C-alpha cells in the first residue's frame, strides 16, 4: 500500500484557507511538477468550492482521467465509504493512504485493469496533494453534520434526523411501490426510575434499551430517539409481517435483559404501515395513536 504523507505547514498552499490570489505560492510548490502548474491551480480552485465529498470525488476524477485509465474510484475513512458514480469492477485495485503530517485521512483506491506507469504514478502523487486539505475539511464538515443529527446519549438519530429520513423513506416507498413501516416506542414509568435511582441510572437504562433495539432490527432499518424515553424505528422495504416480528423481538429481548429487568422496565409500542394517501404528519399520527392505546392498556394491566 502506497503512503502519501504531506507535511502540514501553516503556509501550505494546499490549505483550504490559503489565498490563491496569484497562484504563485502553489506554482512554486510544483517546480518539478509533471503536471502543468496552471492545471494544478485550476484543480485546487475547483476543489475548494465544495464541502460535499461526493462532489469532491467527481471534480477530482475529471482531472485524474486526463492522465490515468481507471474504472472505479473509492474513498474510505472512519465510518465513511464513498464510491465515485459510475464506478465499475476492475481486475485490480491500487490503494493510497492519504496522510497529513502523519495523521491518517483515509484510503483512496483506484480500480485499474492495467499497471500504473512510473510517470503516471508521479502524477497521482501530485494530484493527491491537491485533494488532501479539501478532503480533510469535507470530512470534518461531514462529521459535524452527522453529530447534529445524532442523539448524544444513545448515538441514535435525533428528531431532526427522523423527520428527514421519514420523508425520504415515504418518497422511496411511493416511487418503488414498496412497504415502509413505523414503530414508535415509549418506556413505561421511566420517570419512576429517574426519581428513585437518579438520572445517572436513568441514562444507563436508556443506553441499554437503545442497544437492545439495535439487536431487534435489520441493518437497513433506522433507529431514533426523540429525547426523554421516546424511540422510533423506520422499517423500509418491509413485508407484511415485518412490524409484528420487530415488536415480538423487542418484547422478548426486553423480558430477558438482566439489567432492565432489575428496574422492571416495560415498553409500549405502536406500529403501522404507510398508506398511499399518507403524508409525514398523518403517518406519524396514526402510529402515535396506536402507541397511546398501548400505553393505556399497559397502565390498566398495572393497576389490576
Q: Please give the Cα distance from 206 to 190 (Å, whole number).
A: 9
Q: Is the per-residue pLDDT at 267 higher than 50?
A: yes
Q: In whole angstroms, how far apart are CA 50 and each of 55, 136, 145?
A: 7, 12, 15
Q: Is the per-residue pLDDT at 230 higher than 50?
A: yes
Alpha helices in 12-117 (DSSP H): 24-28, 37-47, 53-64
Q: What average pLDDT does the chain have? A: 87
Residue 67 vs residue 285, higher pLDDT: 285
> 187 CB contacts (<8 Å, ≥6 apart)?
205, 209, 229, 265, 266, 267
Residue 265 vs residue 1, higher pLDDT: 265
Contact 266, 298 (CB under 8 A): yes
Q: Is the per-residue pLDDT at 128 higher than 90?
A: yes
Supply the pLDDT for residue 30: 46
Q: Which three cell numbers stand for residue 129?
A: 496533494
Is 229 catalytic? The answer is yes
Q: Is the per-residue pLDDT at 246 higher than 80?
A: yes
- The total number of residues written for the chain in this structure: 304
Q: Is the per-residue pLDDT at 16 higher than 60?
A: no
Q: Please give the Cα distance from 34 to 304 (Å, whole number).
A: 82
Q: Is 10 helix (H, G, I), strand (E, B) or coil?
A: coil
Q: Is the per-residue pLDDT at 13 higher than 70?
A: no
Domains of the chain: 2-148 (3.30.450), 159-303 (3.30.70.270)
Q: Is the per-residue pLDDT at 22 higher than 60?
A: no
Report CA Rg, the chain.
Answer: 26
Q: Please give the Cα distance from 169 to 282 (Å, whole number).
A: 15
> 99 CB contacts (<8 Å, ≥6 apart)?
3, 4, 5, 6, 105
Q: In whole angstroms, how far apart are CA 10 and each of 14, 16, 185, 240?
A: 10, 11, 50, 58
* Average pLDDT rounded to a whole number, residues 12-17: 32
What is the value of pTM for the model shown?
Answer: 0.67
Q: In whole angstroms, how far apart are CA 252 and each of 243, 266, 275?
A: 14, 11, 28
Contact 271, 243 (CB under 8 A): yes
Q: Which three cell numbers stand for residue 167?
A: 420523508
* Average pLDDT rounded to a whole number, residues 181-186: 97
Contact 181, 238 (CB under 8 A): yes
Q: How confident is the model at residue 140 (pLDDT cuts 50, 70, 90)?
A: very high
Q: How many Cβ atoms sit within 10 Å of the Cβ of residue 304?
A: 5
Q: Which three cell numbers stand for residue 62?
A: 475529471
Q: Is 174 helix (H, G, I), strand (E, B) or coil?
A: helix
1-10, 197-206, 268-277, 292-301: which range is least confident on average?
1-10
188 has which bridge partners? Answer: 266
Supply the pLDDT for residue 19: 32
φ and ψ at 225, to 5 degrees?
A: -125, 130
* Average pLDDT rounded to a whole number, residues 151-158: 94
User: What would the DSSP string read from start to end of 124-147?
Assistant: HHHHHHHHHHHHHHHHHHHHHHHH
Supply the pLDDT for residue 303: 56
Per the residue annotation, which of 151, 186, 221, 229 is the catalytic one? 229
Residue 296 vs residue 302, higher pLDDT: 296
Q: Is the per-residue pLDDT at 264 higher than 80?
A: yes
Q: Please give the Cα distance from 75 to 138 (Å, whole number).
A: 12
* Average pLDDT rounded to a whole number, residues 233-251: 96
Amino acid at each position: 500500500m502506497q503512503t502519501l504523507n504531506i507535511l502540514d505547514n501553516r503556509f501550505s498552499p494546499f490549505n483550504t484557507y490559503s489565498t490563491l490570489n496569484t497562484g504563485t505560492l502553489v506554482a512554486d510548490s510544483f517546480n518539478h511538477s509533471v503536471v502543468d502548474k496552471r492545471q494544478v491551480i485550476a484543480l485546487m480552485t475547483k476543489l475548494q468550492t465544495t464541502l460535499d465529498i461526493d462532489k469532491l470525488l467527481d471534480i477530482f476524477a475529471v482531472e485524474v482521467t486526463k492522465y490515468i485509465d481507471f474504472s472505479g474510484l473509492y474513498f474510505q475513512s472512519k465510518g465513511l465509504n464513498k464510491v465515485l458514480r459510475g464506478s465499475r469492477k476492475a481486475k485490480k485495485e491500487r490503494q493510497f493512504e492519504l496522510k497529513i503530517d502523519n495523521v491518517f485521512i483515509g484510503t483512496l483506491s483506484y480500480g485499474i485493469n492495467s499497471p500504473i506507469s512510473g510517470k503516471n504514478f508521479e502524477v497521482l502523487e501530485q494530484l493527491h496533494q491537491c485533494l488532501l486539505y479539501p478532503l480533510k475539511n469535507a470530512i470534518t464538515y461531514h462529521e459535524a453534520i452527522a453529530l447534529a443529527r445524532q442523539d448524544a446519549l444513545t448515538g441514535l438519530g435525533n428528531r431532526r434526523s427522523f423527520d428527514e429520513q421519514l420523508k425520504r423513506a415515504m418518497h422511496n416507498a411511493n416511487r418503488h411501490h414498496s412497504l415502509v413501516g413505523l414503530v414508535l416506542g415509549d418506556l413505561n414509568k421511566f420517570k419512576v426510575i429517574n426519581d428513585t435511582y437518579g438520572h445517572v441510572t436513568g441514562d444507563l437504562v436508556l443506553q441499554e434499551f437503545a442497544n437492545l433495539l439495535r439487536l431487534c432490527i435489520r441493518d437497513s432499518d433506522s433507529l431514533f430517539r426523540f429525547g426523554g424515553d421516546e424511540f422510533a424505528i423506520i422499517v423500509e422495504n418491509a413485508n407484511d409481517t415485518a412490524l409484528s416480528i420487530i415488536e415480538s423481538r423487542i418484547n422478548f429481548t426486553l423480558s430477558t435483559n438482566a439489567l432492565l429487568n432489575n428496574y422492571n422496565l416495560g415498553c409500549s409500542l405502536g406500529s403501522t404501515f404507510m398508506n398511499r394517501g399518507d403524508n409525514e404528519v398523518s403517518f406519524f399520527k396514526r402510529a402515535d395513536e396506536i402507541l397511546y392505546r398501548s400505553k393505556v392498556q399497559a397502565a390498566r394491566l398495572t393497576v389490576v
